[in-house]
A and B are shown apart, each in its own frame.
Chain A
Amino acid sequence: MDEQKLIELAQKGDRKALAELVKAHEQTIYNFSFKICRNKDKAENTMQETFLSMVKNIKQFGGQSKLSTWLYRVVTNHCLMLARTESKHTADSFDDDDLLIDEKNIADWKITPDKAAENNELKKILDEAIQKLAPEYRIVFMLRDVEGFSTEETASMVELSVPAVKSRLHRARAFLRNELNTRFNYART
């Protein structure tokens, strides 16, 4: 059955249709939530809250966007709420933009991304690097660069202007690249 039909049934209270919609999107939402939280328990909790919002509000879903886009918006809000209750970061983690890019002696990374999925040491480095980034920047990086939404869609999801998204994206990219550069011992002094 196509998704539109499932949504219509779910809006009429069909629990089986709701369960089908959950099943269709749970992996994506859990994965995205993990990418923001970097913790499986928190990711599961955020996923549960996201789908609870879906179940409660499915009647209000008007179909202007895809259900997946709507769910990304909801999970983004839940991730930000969770981060704000426990965050050590502030949105202004970058005191000096000039320090983010040092144009001298850029090393040629010999490492390739192919083995990321099965390399636990690399996963640890990736987790630690991104956890240094404030959640407001992490979410923009994940939506735009990792999930592939356009800058405009990302701006709409996080309720920021396009220039504000671009600014956060710029800083997130430069910051993460620098962190990995240091952890891979490519940084030169």
Chain B
Amino acid sequence: MHEHKITLKTGLPSCKDVMEHICDNLGEELNSPKCIEIKSHLEKCDNCQHYFNSVETTIQFYKKYNVELSNDAHNRLIEFLGLKE
């Protein structure tokens, strides 16, 4: 029992480990013991939460930045493909 505790303690993730893990595994559904330790650290650490939020926000920015195809560009495409009626 004592040995087990020592193993867990020495294996606890650092902030750097957690941030590396966020960049590695964001969006994956993982339930390994390492992931559970990472989640536990994340819940208690403001620094890592800020990092996690900033990576998520970065992704959201690029998701929400979209461009619309104009009617002119659509017409040029159809003409280019020779599909104009």
Contacts and interface: CB of A to CB of B under 8 A. Distances in A.
Contacts, number: 134
A30 B73 contact: yes
Nearest to A174: B23
B54 A109 contact: yes
B63 A52 contact: no
A180 B69 contact: no
Contact of A142 (B46, B47, B62, B64): B62
B58 A103 contact: no
B20 interface: yes
Interface residues of B, number: 41
B55 A113 contact: no
Interface string A82-125: 00000000000000000011011111110111101100001100
Contacts of B27: 144-145
Interface stretch (B4-12, B31-39, B75-83): B75-83
Q: For B28, B57, B77, which residue has the most chain A Cβ atoms within 10 angstroms?
A: B77
Which secondary structure dominates where chain A touches chain B? helix
B77 A48 contact: yes
A117 B60 CA distance: 11
Contacts of A166: 24
Given A103-B47, A113-B60, 14 more contacts: A23-B74, A47-B69, A51-B80, A52-B80, A55-B83, A106-B47, A113-B57, A113-B64, A145-B62, A146-B62, A166-B24, A173-B23, A173-B55, A186-B54
The 8 closest A-B pairs by CB, nearest first: A113-B60, A116-B64, A103-B15, A106-B50, A19-B83, A170-B23, A103-B16, A30-B69
